[in-house]
Structure 1
Amino acid sequence: MNINGDLIEQDQLHCALEEIYNLSRPIQCNFLRGSFNDHYSIDANGSRFVLRLYKHKKSQIRTNTDVRFELDFLEFLHSQGVPVAFPIRSIKNESLNTVYFNNELRYIALFHHAEGSQIGDINLSDAKIFGKIVAALHKKADQFKSEYSRIKMDQYYLIKEPLEVLEKYIRTLKLSDISFFKTCANFMLERINQLPITSEVFGLIHGDLNPSNIHYSPEHGFKIFDFDHCAYGWRIHDLAVIRLCFDYSTYESILNGYQSVRPLSSIEEKSIDVYSDVLLLRKSKDILDMLEVNKNSKEEKTTVVINAIETLRILNERLLC
């Protein structure tokens, strides 16, 4: 069966999987979703996996060494008992492999299936357990060493770059300028600059701990996956994403569980709220990146930019009132 667009034909994926991985047959392959990458559900004689095809031209992934960093990091976390969906190595003992499609080299990785389903409303007891897992991930990450590099989610990444990109789109699309946000941006920079860049508070993070990247089942517990945005950043980044995605009681339970394993400094704890607002600013850049990678229309990009300008107005009113 052919899939429209730049997705690889499923017949070709069958051949690649049979050649690259030691999987039981028969192998069934079904498209799951596409965003920054394309994902397929793989059934190999009853054993389930997820195949990722990495897309090119992503701002957070510069070369294949960035991907190798991610995969090595996942293998390390798994070896340390952190519940993550880690990669399957090929017949040649490689976690990152390649296929050709339309004369283009595509990088692929096969992952263990994350049992359970996307977390939604979880009870407060389970939320506390999840908080402990996130803290353990951060603490174990301090021990990880790699020959490869990964981006830093610093002040430029979080605040300056998204504004530069928005201003570029605004000029191209001839939309209203965002000069009104300058004072608010300076306020955000001032608050973020108060966070120290020390090993206690700045290190490897997941980068996108929203519910769609976390599965849960009563039998298997929690499983974290999709480390495509993992990076060096402030540890409260992951907590700020969680704060934006869950109701207050659930977030508080997750935070309590987290602090029972890794207590936050006072500056970290009081910075989570403003960091969450910073992530709302950064979100527009990430969405525009995804639209570029997937070759979306000018109209779709225009809608995102208009919504981003409105978000800036809301942030401006809230932070500077």
Structure 2
Amino acid sequence: MFFPVSYSTLSDQAINEFLKNQYGLDGTARTGYLLRGMNDTYLVTTAGQKYVFRVYRGDWRTNESEIVFEMELLQHLDKQGISVSLPIPDRQGNIIQKLQAPEGTRFAVLFTFAEGEERGIDSEEISERFGKDVAGIHLHSASFHSSNTRQELNLDYLISQALDFIHPRMTHREQDFRELQGLAGKLEELLHDIGLDTLDWGVCHRDLHGNTNVSYRDDGSMTHYDFDLCGYGWRAYDIAEFRLAREVRLGHDPQQLELLWNAFLKGYQSVRTLSENDLRAVPVFVAIRQLWLFGLCMMDPHIMGSIDSGDDFIDEKLDYFKSLSILKDDISA
């Protein structure tokens, strides 16, 4: 009898043999474990090609329909001229694999490799180009339709569920959690004051920070990947992640932060327009993104461990929310 498993790391040697058999990769194929995150990423190399094999976590993507949605979106964007990492069918034409791991079924997909390199956005030129690409994703996903299900990125998902993940890790600090609940409620009120029904809604990548999930080539072109978080949501939330990433990296240099943010908006709005309400909602969604990330960190200590999300981590997050100017100023006027 085997002891129950919450999460397993699949053997890269076994995956290598699986890929050779399932996809007909040549005998030079080598597979190495690249990254642990919301899914496991393996780099696959042959004599002439590179690929990425993603194994979805068994506790994260349990509904195959959600993964089909992601694959259909990637294929749609590719047909619309957006450079994305694409799923590769096996020799039977199947895109999604089902691997029987100790914790149960885990879905997996082989992707084309995004040529180029990851890099931080450190210039107005790159920021503007990235803004154009993000706008292109939003523009061309408007014609995307799927019969498959996907979690909507509504306030219940972004706020209520995040608080549900946080609360069990803060039972020893009940008063602090109640204060966090109150601050989250104020963020929701701000969005209602702006007018949720006036905000641009559609397919979002939902992890468009610009530091990873995109490969930059020497000619300035980009290939986007890791659409695992994609779904229908507010576009202001999607671009808020770019803003948040700049605030985290450049909080000590507000002038540079604003230069890069304005360059991003210039590029974005050269492709499609953002309304005044969408722009006013961005700082609120920046804070909501932080809340969602807070919940994400508290969701999976059984995989990532809890040592980095203890009281010091909680203090840091609470200090962030208490310092938010948008919770002190009226932005709805």
TM-score clears 0.5: yes
Gapped runs of 5+ residues in structure 1?
none
Deviations 1:82-129 (A, max 9, x none): 111111111111211122334733211111111111121343223222
Q: Which runs of 4+ in 1 moved over 4 A?
A: 173-176
Task: State the Cα distance separating 1:163 from its structure 2 match.
Answer: 2.4
Residue identity in the other structure for 2:328: L
Q: CA–CA distance in 1 between the matches of 2:37 and 2:99?
A: 19
Offset from partner CA, 1:279-312 (integer Å, 9 cap, x none): 11111011223434x1624x44424444433333
Give the Å deviation of 1:176: 4.9
Residue 32 of structure 1 corresponds to 34
Could you say which residue in structure 2 is the equivalent of 1:308? 317
Amino acid at match of 1:254: F
1:29-61 Cα offsets, whole Å, 9 max, x none, are 111110111111110222011110110112xx3
1:151 to 2:161 alignment: no
- Point out the more displaced range, 176-185 or 30-39: 176-185
Instruction: Decide which of 45, 51, 59 is 1:43's aligned counterpart.
Output: 45
SS in 1 for 2:291: helix
**Structure 2 residue matching 1:178: 3-state secondary structure:** helix
Shift of the alpha carbon at 1:170? Answer: 1.1
For residues 217 and 11 of structure 1, what CA distance do their matches in structure 2 show? 31
Q: Does 1:287 align with 2:287?
A: no
Evaluate the alpha carbon distance shift between residue 62 and residue 320 of structure 1 in structure 2; reply closer, same or farther with a 3 A threshold: farther
Structure 2: runs of 5 or more not aligned:
1-6, 247-256
Query: Greater CA deviation, 117-126 or 301-310?
Result: 301-310
Kindly indicate whether the alpha-carbon contact (under 8 Å) linking 1:281 and 1:311 is maintained by their aligned counterparts in 2.
no
Bigger shift: residues 99-108 or 85-94: 99-108
Structure 2 CA distance for partners of 1:145 and 1:22, relative to 1, 3 Å? farther
Q: Contact 1:35–1:290 (CA<8 Å) still a contact in 2? A: no
Contact 2:165–2:299 (CA under 8 A) maintained in structure 1: no
Aligned amino acid, residue 167 of structure 2: E
Which segment drifts farther, 99-108 or 114-123? 99-108
For residues 180 and 121 of structure 1, the distance between their equivalents in structure 2, rounded to whole angstroms, comes to: 35
Secondary structure of residue in 2 paired with 1:38: strand
Give identity over the alignment, percent. Answer: 25
250, 256, 281: which is aligned to 2:266? 256
Tell me the residue number matched to 1:184: 183
Counterparts of 2:126 and 2:326 in 1: how far apart (Å)?
32
Shift of 1:186: 2.8
Confirm or deny: 8 A CA contact 2:213 2:226 kept in the other structure: yes
Within 1, Cα distance between the matches of 2:173 and 2:222? Answer: 46
- Give the distance between the partners of 1:230 and 1:310, measured in 2 at CA: 29
- 1:143-189, Cα deviation, whole Å (9 max, x unpaired): 11112111111111222222233223211x45653223454323211
Would the aligned equivalents of 1:184 and 1:320 in 2 still touch at CA under 8 Å?
no
TM-score of the superposed pair, with normalisation by structure 2: 0.85
State the distance in 1 between where 2:36 and 2:181 align: 35
1:103 & 1:14 partners in 2: Cα distance? Answer: 20
Q: Could you tell me how far apart the structure 2 residues matched to 1:64 and 1:184 are? A: 36
2:14 partner amino acid:
Q
With over 3 angstroms needed to count, the CA separation of the structure-2 counterparts of 1:102 and 1:180, relative to structure 1, is closer
Structure 1 residues 94-103 or 83-92, which shifts more?
Answer: 94-103
Tell me the amino acid that sits aligned with residue 99 of structure 2: V
1:216-235 equivalence runs, <5 A? 216-219=216-219, 221-235=221-235
Is residue 143 of structure 2 the alignment partner of residue 127 of structure 1? Answer: no
* 1:38–1:236 CA distance, 2 compared to 1 (3 A): same
Distance in 2 of aligned mates of 1:103 and 1:149: 24
How far apart, CA to CA, are the structure 2 residues paired with 1:26 and 1:91? 18
Q: 2: CA distance between counterparts of 1:103 and 1:300?
A: 25
Shift of the 156–104 alpha-carbon distance from structure 1 to 2, 3 Å rule, reads closer
Paired residues, what number?
310
Query: Could you say what secondary structure the match of 2:146 adopts?
Result: coil
Match of 2:254 in 1: none
Name the residue aligned to 1:13. 15
Contact 1:16-1:99 within 8 A present in 2 as well: no
Q: Is the 8 A contact 2:56 2:108 kept in 1?
A: yes
1:138 and 2:138 are equivalent in the alignment: yes
Q: Is the 8 A contact 2:165 2:296 kept in 1?
A: no
SS in 2 for 1:89: coil
Is the alpha carbon distance of 1:197 and 1:84 closer, same or farther for their aligned partners in structure 2, counting shifts above 3 Å? farther
1:278 pairs with 2:280: no
Residue 252 of structure 1 and its aligned partner are, at CA, apart by 1.2
